[in-house]
Copies of this chain bind each other. A is one copy, B any other.
Amino acid sequence: MQQWYFVAALLTILTSSQGILTTLSQSNGGYKYDYATVPFLAEVFKLLVSSFLLWKESKSSNHPQMTTEWTTVCLFPIPSIIYLIHNNVQFATLTFVDTSTYQIMGNLKIVTTGILFRLFLRKKLSNLQWIAIILLAVGTTTSQVKSCGESSCNSLFSAPIQGYMLGILSACLSALAGVYTEFLMKKNNDSLYWQNVQLYTFGALFNMARLLVDDFRSGFESGPWWQRLIDGYSFTTWMVVLNLGSTGLLVSWLMKYADNIVKVYSTSMAMLLTMVLSVYLFSFKPTLQLFLGIIICMVSLHLYFAPPSSLVDSPVTTKILPKCVDDVSVHLSTDSSHKVSHP
């Protein structure tokens, strides 16, 4: 199962395009459409695609495995509920800290994902992999360090304590949603498409509820959401919807066949790719910190995924295993085959 490399690479490219498409879909620095409709339509898109694939699978020779017990189905709205809480925590955090401090604190979710991944999914990570995860968070943060000469210049260290607490809570909730979804997808051998159908049905419902709540808050001054659903949509906006839906489907696939850490690497690399592309597309100034951040994240990627033997080979390997090597040679010599001659 080395397919996940390609899925992760594709997720990186699509997530990176998401930022660029969203910027391109703006006019005069603002949205002509209601941005809250985008995730709703993306959920609908994912639901349609998954339903179609499930239908195709059911037509094929081997029927898809589908658990329809209430005790299993009722687990599927939970990710949506976590995201709902997360959104509200995010809103509360932003009353204490500015956007760039919030963005910097967002990198904490890389570390919290590692921790919850270890605690809840009981996956063991080597010390080197822990170091790699910390480096990934440090690398993404480095790339976001404010350049000299930038206009807003608030110190990261001057926010009230509540801001930091909420930032940490936010990082934990974000990680929890990811880890919980992985648990859900790997819980049984149900068809991925069936799991997706359940996940996205609740996703679509929760997003619909959010649009309705927005309507009530604004006193229906611009009409109910279904009447203004695609108002102001351009071709680029549809691309944003399609792209968001596709990244969602790829994330589901990774949760089932790879894991949260792979997803975290994909999205972190996507953030750096977006910054590099912005240098070309929107003539952003390339900064030293972006360059350093990219090196740190590449090192992290290598430390996490490269086979450990390739990292600690010469000349240290011999030091780790003197006893073992001795034993082998003794064993082989009684076997009268003298092939091992390394010192």
Contact = CB atoms under 8 A, between A and B. Distances in A.
Nearest to A154: B148
A66 interface: no
Given A124-B314, A134-B299, A289 B142 contact: yes
B126 A286 contact: no
A146 B327 CA distance: 56
Interface stretch (A4-12, A47-55, A199-207, A305-313): A305-313
A135 interface: yes
A292 B157 CA distance: 13
A338 interface: no
Contacts of A138: 292, 295-296, 299
Contact of A308 (B153, B307, B312, B330): B312
A281 interface: no
Contact of A312 (B127, B302, B314, B324): B127
Interface residues of A, number: 53
Nearest to A332: B327
Contact of A288 (B104, B149, B312): B104
Contact of A316 (B289, B308, B320, B332): B308
Interface string A279-294: 0000001101100100
A36 interface: no
Nearest to A303: B131
Given A295-B134, A327-B327, A328-B327, A124 B310 contact: no
A212 to B, nearest CB: 41
A311 B127 contact: yes
A328 B323 CA distance: 10
Contact of A146 (B131, B147, B299, B309): B147
A95 B254 CA distance: 53
A126 B309 contact: no
A96 to B, nearest CB: 18
Which 6 interchain pairs have the tightest Cβ spacing? A308-B312, A146-B148, A331-B331, A128-B311, A149-B153, A148-B153
9 contacts: A126-B313, A135-B299, A138-B292, A148-B148, A155-B285, A308-B311, A311-B312, A321-B324, A330-B331
Given A131-B303, A138-B296, A324-B328, 12 more contacts: A124-B314, A126-B314, A127-B313, A142-B142, A147-B148, A148-B148, A289-B289, A308-B312, A308-B320, A327-B331, A328-B328, A328-B331
